[in-house]
């Protein structure tokens, strides 16, 4: 029979709760590390040098580690260039390079939006940074920031890394819970239920030979000592030598009268009670309350004399002719 299972799969709900817990804990952890994020991502805090556009238009920058460097501004309108300095000689401008575009600057409180003014791959050494304003550059500042240092400060913070990992885990588990819930609903609607050997309703997928064998062993526990039944072969196993064949086929029960034979069962089905009753039971029936006494002969029977009766000779006339009418004349 087909019916819905009363058991509900608890895993979709568990995964959903775990997803929400991971996301909440990760968000709280990241919010608590906003100062660390500000120190790493804010160019005002993380830079190797800056130029105040209102007072100067060039400045010497010392690059201690090679890597990706980027110039940021807020509302600056103009161009920014870098030239390598070899001693007192200023060489040609360094060509811009789009490096590590997956990293961007941001302020700690999110109130400032930074603009990329230039990006370069720089080696260790001194560089001259020049700015050229298109309009008024009052109160504008340009910062030169190391993107590698920005990345390293974030990765070296274990709490930021832990919070980000928990948020990612929560986002991943959320759709997984939805998929498991949908699969559980489809499986619940098409579940086939059967009645096992012990009379209990169970799913068809659980009706394996091992389960059936276990249920049969529990049912026969205490009924047959030392005898097991193999559900796969249909044979008895582990039978003791002390159990005779007569005990297995019920011959003793038939002789004792506690079990009917096949002929007696068939006669009982036809309504023949006498044939179905064992012979020993017929002998043990209640005796007749009015028995007929046996008659004993006390006198000798009289001798009867036989008389011989002489038979008269009868002459059969001989017909003169062979006509059958002559027979009536006698």
pLDDT band at 120 (very low <50, low <70, confident <90, very high): very high
Q: What percent of the chain has pLDDT over 70?
A: 63
Q: Which pLDDT score, from 0 to 100, does residue 21 have? A: 94
Q: At 91, which helix (H) or strand (E)?
A: strand 89-93
Q: At 117, which helix (H) or strand (E)?
A: strand 115-122
More confident residue, 304 or 65: 65
Instruction: Copy the structure tokens of residue 78.
Output: 């103009």
Q: Which pLDDT score, from 0 to 100, does residue 32 have? A: 87
Q: Which pLDDT score, from 0 to 100, does residue 2 have? A: 44
pTM of the model: 0.48
Question: What gap in Å lies between CA 152 and CA 36, rounded to an integer?
Answer: 12
pLDDT per residue over 256-273, tens digit each? 666 777 787 777 777 776
Q: Which pLDDT score, from 0 to 100, does residue 3 have? A: 47
pLDDT per residue over 284-297, tens digit each? 455 566 666 655 55
**Angle formed by the axes of helices 11-32 and 158-189, nearest 10°:** 160
Q: For residue 68, how many other CB atoms are within 10 A of its CB?
A: 21
Q: Which pLDDT score, from 0 to 100, does residue 241 have? A: 47
- The CATH number of the structural domain formed by 34-156 is 2.60.120
> CB of 151 within 8 A of CB of 41?
no
Q: Which pLDDT score, from 0 to 100, does residue 119 have? A: 92
Instruction: Copy the structure tokens of residue 164.
Output: 């980000």
Q: Which pLDDT score, from 0 to 100, does residue 151 have? A: 86
pLDDT per residue over 123-160, tens digit each? 999 999 998 888 777 788 899 999 988 888 888 888 88
Mean model confidence pLDDT for the chain: 75
- Inform me whether the pLDDT recorded for 239 exceeds 70: no
At residue 233, the 3 state secondary structure works out as coil
**Angle formed by the axes of helices 158-189 and 147-155, nearest 10°:** 70
């Amino acid at each position: 029979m087909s019916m819905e299972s009363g058991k509900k799969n608890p895993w979709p709900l568990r995964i959903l709760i775990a997803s929400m817990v991971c996301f909440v804990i990760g968000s709280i952890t990241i919010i608590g590390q906003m100062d660390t994020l500000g120190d790493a991502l804010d160019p005002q805090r993380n830079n190797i040098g800056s130029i105040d556009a209102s007072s100067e238009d060039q400045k010497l920058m010392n690059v201690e580690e090679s890597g990706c460097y980027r110039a940021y501004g807020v509302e600056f309108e103009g161009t920014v260039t870098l030239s390598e300095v070899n001693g007192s000689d200023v060489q040609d401008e360094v060509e811009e390079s789009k490096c590590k575009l997956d990293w961007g600057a941001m302020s700690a409180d999110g109130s400032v939006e930074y603009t990329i003014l230039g990006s370069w791959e720089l080696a260790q050494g001194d560089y001259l940074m020049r700015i050229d304003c298109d309009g008024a550059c009052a109160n504008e500042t340009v910062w030169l920031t190391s993107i590698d240092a920005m990345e390293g400060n974030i990765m070296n913070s274990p709490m930021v890394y832990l919070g980000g990992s928990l948020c990612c885990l929560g986002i991943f588990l959320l759709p997984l819970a939805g998929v498991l819930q949908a699969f559980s609903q489809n499986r619940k609607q098409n579940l086939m239920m059967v009645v096992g050997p012990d009379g209990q309703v169970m799913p068809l997928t659980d009706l394996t030979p091992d389960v059936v064998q276990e249920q049969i062993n529990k049912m026969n526990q205490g009924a047959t000592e030392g005898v097991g039944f193999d559900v796969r072969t249909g044979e008895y196993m582990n039978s003791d030598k002390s159990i005779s064949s007569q005990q297995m086929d019920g011959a003793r029960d038939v002789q004792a009268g506690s079990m009917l034979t096949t002929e007696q069962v068939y006669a009982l089905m036809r309504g023949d009670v006498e044939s179905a009753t064992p012979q020993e039971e017929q002998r043990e029936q209640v005796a007749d309350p009015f028995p007929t006494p046996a008659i004993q002969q006390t006198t000798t029977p009289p001798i009867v004399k036989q008389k011989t009766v002489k038979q008269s000779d009868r002459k059969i006339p001989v017909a003169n002719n062979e006509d059958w009418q002559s027979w009536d004349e006698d």
